Copies of this chain bind each other. A is one copy, B any other.
């Protein structure tokens, strides 16, 4: 049994202010929790049904394992359909490593939608991005919808938050690109795949400071003439296309 106090404590973690205060966040679902266990990720506890424990926990786990009834998981889950397993994770103190000169670094600017940020983390993981920096006004990566959308990739890649001034320095000191509606054609540009790529929310556009500090702006050409067809692409979709093209050029 979980107990009322623990249930209330976990329910509070659905809110950002308690996640920051308690330095804990929730990760749910079989794939994500197994990724956490495999990676030896610091967790306070794993809460699961007895069936889940029997089926999935064959080897030891570095966290306390608490057996719970499905109705208890329903109470603490952030999801519409509550899963059979949930982990209470420790919020790590992240340290940036020096910019690598073999792999791409991603900068996420003002992405407010947690689903988009989670999808970007999953994409960055897929394409082997070295590090993600995010502007201070980007949604926090421990938001349950972000954790969910990242599909376990947050275990390997967590955004490090920086002020716009720090991101400016990063762009000025390195070979930096930004995805922008007005830029050079992505497909006819030879890119350095160990540089910095800045992506920003399609509704706000690129921050003016980053506009002027990146070395080159690049665009994904549309089949339509300007003013006809879609105005833009969603930021996660655009990030996918950019990362794919950087990866293609790096491997060809």
Question: Interface of A with B (CB < 8 Å)?
Answer: 31, 119, 122-123, 125-128, 151-153, 156, 187-188, 220-224, 229-231, 233-234, 236-238, 240-241, 244-245, 247-248, 251-252
Contact B126 A223 (CB under 8 A): yes
A230 CA to B149 CA, complexed, in Å: 11
What residues of B have a CB within 8 angstroms of the CB of A241 in the complex? 240-241, 244
A236 to B181, CA, bound (A): 20
18 extra interchain contacts, Cβ-Cβ under 8 A, other than A126-B233, A127-B222, A241-B244? Answer: A31-B231, A119-B234, A119-B237, A122-B234, A125-B224, A126-B222, A126-B223, A128-B223, A153-B229, A153-B230, A187-B248, A187-B252, A221-B251, A223-B247, A233-B240, A237-B237, A240-B241, A244-B244
Kindly provide the distance from the CB of A131 to the nearest chain B CB, expressed in whole angstroms: 14
7 nearest CB pairs, A to B: A128-B223, A237-B240, A241-B244, A187-B248, A126-B230, A126-B222, A240-B240
> Cα distance A156–B223 when bound, in Å?
13
CA A234 to CA B236, docked complex, whole Å: 10
Q: Considering the complex, give the chain B residue whose CB is closest to the CB of A220.
A: B244
Chain B neighbourhood of A223, CB < 8 A? 126-128, 247
Closest to A244 in B: B241
**Which residues on the B side are within 8 Å of A234 (C-beta)?**
119, 122
Within 8 Å CB of A125, what residues of B? 224, 229-230
Instruction: Please report the C-alpha to C-alpha distance between residue A229 and residue B129 in the assembled complex, in whole angstroms.
Output: 12
The complex places the Cα of A248 from the Cα of B128 at a distance, in Å, of 22
Question: How many Å from the CB of A248 to the closest CB on chain B?
Answer: 4
8 inter-chain pairs at a CB distance below 8 angstroms, sorted by A residue, are A31-B231, A122-B230, A122-B233, A126-B223, A126-B233, A128-B222, A236-B237, A241-B244
Residue pair B229, A156 in contact (C-beta under 8 Å): yes
Contact call B247/A245, Cβ cutoff below 8 A: no
